[in-house]
Structures are given as structure tokens and as C-alpha cells.
Structure 1
Amino acid sequence: MKIFMLPSWYATEDKPLLGIFFTEQARALIRAGHQVYILYPDLRFRLYGLPTGIHSFAGDVPGYFDRCRSFTPFWEQGRWPQREWMLNRLYKLAVKQWGKPDLLHLQSCKMGIEALWLGQKYHLPLVYTEHFTGVMTSLKGPLRTQLRKTLEGASQAIAVSEELKLRMQEFRADTRYIPNMVDSSSFTPAKSQHSGFVFGTLCNLVARKRIDLLLRAFAAADLSNSFLCIGGDGPERRSLEKLAHALKIADRVIFCGRVSRADVCHFYQGCDCIVSTSDIETFGMTLIEALSCGIPILSTKSGGPESIVIPGQNGQLIPCNDEKSLKNGLIQMASYKFDKHHLRADCIARFGEKAVVAQITAVYQQAVRRYKWE
């Protein structure tokens, strides 16, 4: 099939890792024989000297983005017609270049109103997948309107976790769960061993990731010959570094800074357990990438991880914001022995490219058939 993918956010020259899972999903669909093209209206509050207008993507997934400054930066509903205008420009250019698509695939309701408008204008079915954390936390105002209208108007609706599906079923009962996928060829087990026991976490260093809780629990666990590697950067980094010193664990905590996409696999391979302490997550890409590398998981029950972690088989789940449970979890994970080849095989069976692409393809086929009948 020919698919025009419409991401609500996407990687650009100044934000190369933004929405990387959209790119990887598009690559997987292309490898499966689909024709996938990205159309992204890059509407900004500030341009910071970046070029405006329509440009083609430089990577291996074809498509176009249109960059403009928002006319109404503090009014979400005011941005909807501007993005519709941008999407229409992109669509007409893409059709001229590649022909009319069989369907549109929207990634997140943050651009749902505009995607529905485009589908109705050109009589195309719309498949919709939700990833946005805000659907789990602050479902009110414009976001609630976007979610409700997108779910009501889409041909098919997909959630990337079971918990997210439950939230979406408030508006649409037949919402289905299809997880994000992992590129298992890029995330493989380490061939060599390292000394000590290394816990790792990879995330943006923002408050809701609760790295402060992880530092306190790691200090309380007081495990001999153990280390904590924190990958990522963000506004909390300086305060977290100060906390590590205050807890007298700075000699066992390594702040790695931002980890490039090319080095992410090496980061996982250097760890014995990946930890997620978030208050809320819609999925957990780092978790399935780590599992593909044969690394077990310790995670809070923050929404998405419950669809990934099977306690006792590939890791442990603990309550959110519970330092004692986190401390005990760290101690337990340091003593457990997991078969990395079993972890990887189970991950590929559930989140591998072949398994997930087959589910998405079935949804595409159903959306096209249903749209023709209607």
C-alpha cells in the first residue's frame, strides 16, 4: 500500500532524535513492501534562524516538511487552520511526486483535527495511532477535543499500550493495542562481560522521570561493586548531580550526557539492568530496546511498561513514587539471573518488526475495506 504518514512531531535538523520511532516504523513498513512518505507541518513558536518553507527530508524515508512560524503561538485552536493549510500544500506536492495514497496514517491526536480535515477533503481513510503522554495525564481543554474528534472520525484507532487503550476507549470502544516495534538487528546482546553490576537509565532529565527517586533508592540499597549510569540530558541534570554528591554516591554514579542514536545500543550493552522510574509513560521504547539486547528491566507501573514487563520473566514492576519498593527492586535485580537469549527472543516475538508490521498491515487492509464499503 501507499501510505502518507502524518506525525504530530518529527525529527528535524535541530532535533534529530524527535519522534525517532516514527522513522523506524516507516522504515519497517517500507521493508515489508509498503510505500511510505512523511508529511510534516513543522509549525514553530520561534524559528531560531531555521529555513522556512517546504523542504524534502534528507534521510532514507522520503517525504516533505513545511516550516512556518505560528500566527497564534498561544492559542491551540488557532493553529489548526494554519496546519491544515500546510498539510494541504504538502499533500498536493506529494501526490504530484508519488501519486495518490491508499490511506493516511496519523501519529498522535495532537494533529488529529487537521488530519481528519485532509482525509475528508481527499476522501481517504485515516488510521490513527496514539503515543502522547498527555492523553494519560491532562485530558482536558483542546487536547480532549482533539482526542475525542480524532477517535470519532478515524477509520481505525490504535494505542501503543494497554493502559493507553483504556483511556482512549472512553471515546471509542474498538480502539486496539499494537505496540511500538524494536529494530532487533540494531539492538543485540553484548559479546563481552564487564565487572561489577551496572544499573542504567536513559531518558530526558525532567522531573516526571523521577531520577531523584532513583538516586535516593540506589544510595539506600548500598550494593557493593554496583554502579548507576544515567544517559540523557535536561533541566534537572545539575540538581541531580548535586543530589548524587549529597548522598555520597557520586563516585558510583556516571552522568553520561546525551547519548547519540548510534551509541544507544552500546549504552544498553554496558548495563546489567535498565531502570525506569517515571511517573507516567505511554509506552517505553528504551525498555524494548534493552530487552532486545538481553537486558532485564526494573520499572515503575507508569502505564506503558505494564504492557512490556512480565514480572519474574523479563524484569520486575514496582509502584510509582515508592523509594522503599525501588530500593528492594534494585537489590533483587542485582541478585537475579536472567537468560539474555530468552529475553531477546521473547522481545522479538512481541515487539519485533515482523510481528508488529503484520498487525499494522492488517489494520491498513481493514481501514481501506471499511472505507470503500462506507
Structure 2
Amino acid sequence: MKKIIFFHLLNDYSGSPKVLSQVIDAVSKKGFDAELFLGGKGSSGFLSSVPCVQRRYFYKRFDNKFLTLISYTLSQVLLFFKLLKYRKSSVIFYVNTLLPFGAALAGKFLGIKVFYHIHETSIRPRPLKAFLRWVVEKCSSSNIFVSHFLARTEGFSKVESQVVYNAIPQAMSRIAARHIYHPFTDGQFCVLMICSLKTYKGVNEFLHIARSLNLNPSFKFNLVLGATEAEASEFFLGTPIPDNLTVIFSCADVVPYYQRASVLLSLSKPDEWVETFGLTILEGLSFGIPCIVPPVGGPVELVSDDCEGYLMTSSRVEEISARLVDLQKDSDTCYRLSAAAKIKSLSFSSEKFESGVLGVFDGI
């Protein structure tokens, strides 16, 4: 059986490395020999303990975007030459996200089959995105998209593709299945958001909503960030954190926060970043948490308005705050949304995910 070599740029606690860790688990259980190339040194994240050999290649992020772009380009050139040793090897290259283009170019050069798992659409600058799409068109044998929205938006007419919805890990799924949702925990109505520390993720909007409800003692806000405390301190420098908000950093285990949550918010700003799926939304649904999500992109495939939650644009913070107040006063609606959320989450099982991913390798 062939070896599958996986490629990812930056290991952290965001969605794409989490999904890749599940892919590696799936192929390892199936008996494939797996190897992982990761950019950077020593970064912790969901890929830190995957069951395969890990190799590192150069990559470093800088505060200066131009320097980061130079570092990124250099990393992919070095990765390309590092992979030339696989000439005449019986391997498959599996590129996670559009970013590790050096692996795709090396695969094309060496005559190795290249598969892409595509998670994103909002890549800047535009010339970079155009170049990355060109690499996919020239090098990929098959693409996996995480949603039908993404497949429509970023499809490649000359490359075979399929949609494989993300799923939550089986261990979390078992915990979620046993969880009984309650609108209040210890007398508090807890509003949760889990995201990267980026303005386009709606972090400032979340603070605004928390601040607007600071005088209501029933409300508690938890913001779980895929960032270190130092990074968050710099981001929030000069920004007062309301008393009803707790910020959690670089959290590997988010289950306790889902277990306490009354509502989950996803506040990505569609004019800057379109969510192509929304793994935290699916995780929230599996715990029976009503979700307020953007009305565009992948979240629409997870949440229907007034069914599992609500579709609301993040810029309308006053309306979102008012909706939260309504839910805090109406437990019956919370329970109705929660029941629908649990049912919807069953459509995104880990079994379907693994079957979809493994199906890509049929006949190889």
C-alpha cells in the first residue's frame, strides 16, 4: 500500500489542522503509511500528536506582512527541493489548504499524484490567490472541498472534485451525545465564541456585544482564542475588556466551554472573510447549542434561520444583542433550537467524513 505524505503550513488550534488530524487518523486506521510535513518550528496545535512521522520545513511569521510573504515564498521553494528525494518513490502527496504550493509543484515535477483538501476562499493578496489556483489547476489530480458553497465558489472545471463535509472527532462526538443542554448553567446565560485572533473573525464585535450586556448580571461571555496570552495582550492593547467576558488562550480542550454554553456566536465579517464551513458551529450543534451565524457561506449549510439558530450579519451587533436578550428570557425557544441543532449535527458524522476521504484513494 502506498505512503501518503501530508503537507500543512502552520500548526495551530484552528479548523484546517484539526480536520487534517482527523484525515491522518482515518488513513492510519485504514493501514496507510502516513508522513506529515509541517512548516515552522515547535508550534503547538492539533497536529502535534498525530499518529505518523513528522518532518519540519522552514516557515516563520512576522508582524510585517511583506516579510511574512517573503518567508512563505522561501518556505515553499525550500520545501520543493526537500521533496526531490521522493523521485521514483511510490507515494501520494496530500496538500492541506491551498498554501503549501511547493509540495504540489514537486509532485507534478516528480510525476506523483497530488490531492488537495481545500478549506478557504479568502486569500490575500489577490495575485497570490490567483497563483495558488493556477498551481491547483496544473498539479492536482483530485480536490476535496469542505462545503458545497466552497465548491461552487472555488471550483476547478478541469480537476475532479467532491464535497466532504467536516465532522467532529469521535471522542468529542461521544461526549456531545451524552450532553444535556440547559439554557442556564449556575444561573448564568453563557455566550460562547471560539475563533482565531483576527479582526475579520468578529472579535471586536463580540467584545461590543458583551459590553452592551454588561449591566445584565445573567450574561456571561467566553471567548476562546487560538492565540497565546501575549498575542492577545498586544491585540487588545488599549481596549477595555468588560467584566462579564473571559478570554481563554490556546485551548486544546474546548469541551468544557461547549458544555456550559447557552448560545454559540460565529461573527465572521463576510466582506473580509467568508466562512467556508464553520467547524466550531458543527461542534456547537452537536452539543445542542443554538447558533447565531453569518447568513452567507458554509454556515448556511449548517444552520437554518429560526431552526437550529439564526442567520445574522455580524455588523448588526445591536440586533444580535437584542436576540440574545430574547433567548435569555425564553427557555422554550432555546430548547426548541437545541433539539433541532442536535438532529442537524447527526448529518455530519465522522463515519461519513472518513468514508468520503478514504473514497478519494479508491483504486490507488
Deviation of 1:24 after TM superposition, in Å, equals: 2.2
CA distance in 1 between counterparts of 2:172 and 2:204 reads: 30
Gaps of 5+ in 1: 52-56, 369-374
| Cα deviation digits, residues 9-46 of structure 1 (max 9, x gap) | 253xxx57782321122113333x2415133153x5xx
Q: Which residue among 68, 93, 101 is the counterpart of 1:112?
A: 101
Q: Matches of 2:335 and 2:181 in 1, distance apart?
A: 16
Matched, 1:136 2:130: no
What is the aligned counterpart of 1:148 among 109, 134, 139? 134
| Correspondence 1:125-274 to 2 at 5 A | 125-132=113-120, 135-138=121-124, 140-169=126-155, 175-187=161-173, 188-189=175-176, 190=179, 194=185, 195-220=187-212, 225-232=218-225, 233=227, 235=231, 237=233, 240=236, 243=239, 250-255=242-247, 257-261=248-252, 263-274=253-264
Instruction: Report 1:214-363 matches (<5 A).
Output: 214-220=206-212, 225-232=218-225, 233=227, 235=231, 237=233, 240=236, 243=239, 250-255=242-247, 257-261=248-252, 263-279=253-269, 280=273, 281-301=275-295, 303-334=297-328, 335=330, 336-338=333-335, 340=338, 342-349=340-347, 351-363=348-360
Asked whether the 8 Å contact 1:125–1:155 carries over to 2, the reply is yes
Output the CA distance in 2 between the equivalents of 1:241 and 1:338.
38
- Supply the distance in 1 between the matched residues of 2:72 and 2:250 (Cα, whole angstroms): 32
1:372 corresponds in structure 2 to none
1:243–1:27 Cα change, 3 Å: same
Q: Take 1:58 and 1:200, find their aligned partners in 2: how far apart are those partners?
A: 26
Secondary structure of the residue aligned to 1:179 is coil
SS state of the match for residue 313, structure 1?
coil
| TM-aligned CA deviation for residue 175 of structure 1 | 3.9
Contact 2:205-2:317 within 8 A present in 1 as well: yes
CA distance in 1, matches of 2:340, 2:308: 9
CA 1:138–1:338: 2 relative to 1, 3 Å: farther
- Identity between Structure 1 and Structure 2 (%): 15
1:200 CA drift (Å): 0.6
Task: Work out the CA distance in 2 between the residues paired with 1:158 and 1:86.
Answer: 25
1:6 alignment counterpart:
6
Aligned to 1:371: none
Q: CA RMSD in A?
A: 3.5
Q: Secondary structure at the match of 1:316?
A: strand
Which of residues 112, 136, 159 in structure 2 aligns to 1:124? 112
- Name the amino acid aligned to 2:128: P
- Matched letter for residue 306 of structure 1: V
Q: Deviations over 1:345-369 (max 9, x none)?
A: 43132x2210112222223227x4x
Residue pair 1:298, 1:333 contacting (<8 A) in 2 also: no
In the TM superposition, residue 218 of structure 1 has moved relative to its aligned partner by 4.0
For residue 274 of structure 1, report the CA deviation from its aligned partner: 1.0
Unaligned stretches of 5+ in structure 2? Answer: 61-67
**Matched residues, number:** 336
| Aligned twin of 1:39 | 36
CA separation of 1:352/1:223 partners in 2, compared to 1, >3 Å: closer, same or farther?
Answer: farther
Indicate whether 1:85 and 2:81 are aligned: yes
What CA distance in whole angstroms lies between the structure 1 residues aligned with 2:249 and 2:237? 15
Give the TM-score, by structure 2 length: 0.78
Alpha-carbon separation, structure 1, partners of 2:145 and 2:115 = 11
Q: CA deviation at 1:272?
A: 1.0
Question: Does the 8 A contact of 1:104 with 1:127 survive in 2?
Answer: yes
Q: For residue 166 of structure 1, report the CA deviation from its aligned partner.
A: 2.5
> 26, 29, 42: which is aligned to 2:27?
29
Deviation at 1:275, TM superposition (A): 0.6
Aligned residue identity for 2:116? Y
The CA distance in 2 between the partners of 1:40 and 1:271, in whole Å, is 36
Output the amino acid matched with 1:312: D
For residues 27 and 302 of structure 2, the distance between their equivalents in structure 1, rounded to whole angstroms, comes to 22
Residue 82 of structure 1, CA deviation: 1.7
Task: After TM superposition, give the deviation of residue 114 of structure 1 in Å.
Answer: 2.8
CA distance in structure 1 between the aligned counterparts of 2:142 and 2:128, rounded to whole angstroms: 22
Contact 2:36 2:54 in 1 (8 A): yes
Residue by residue over 1:71-107, the C-alpha shift from the partner in whole angstroms, topping out at 9 and shown as x without a partner, is x972755544321112234x479x6xxxx33x33221
Paired residue type of 1:149? V
- Once the two structures are superposed, what CA deviation does each residue of 1:128-155 show, in whole Å capped at 9, x if it has no partner? 11123xx325362233112222134311
TM-score, with length taken from structure 1: 0.76
**Structure 2 SS opposite 1:109:** coil
What amino acid sits opposite 1:84 in the alignment? F
Report the alpha carbon displacement of residue 265 of structure 1 after superposing the two structures with TM. Answer: 0.6
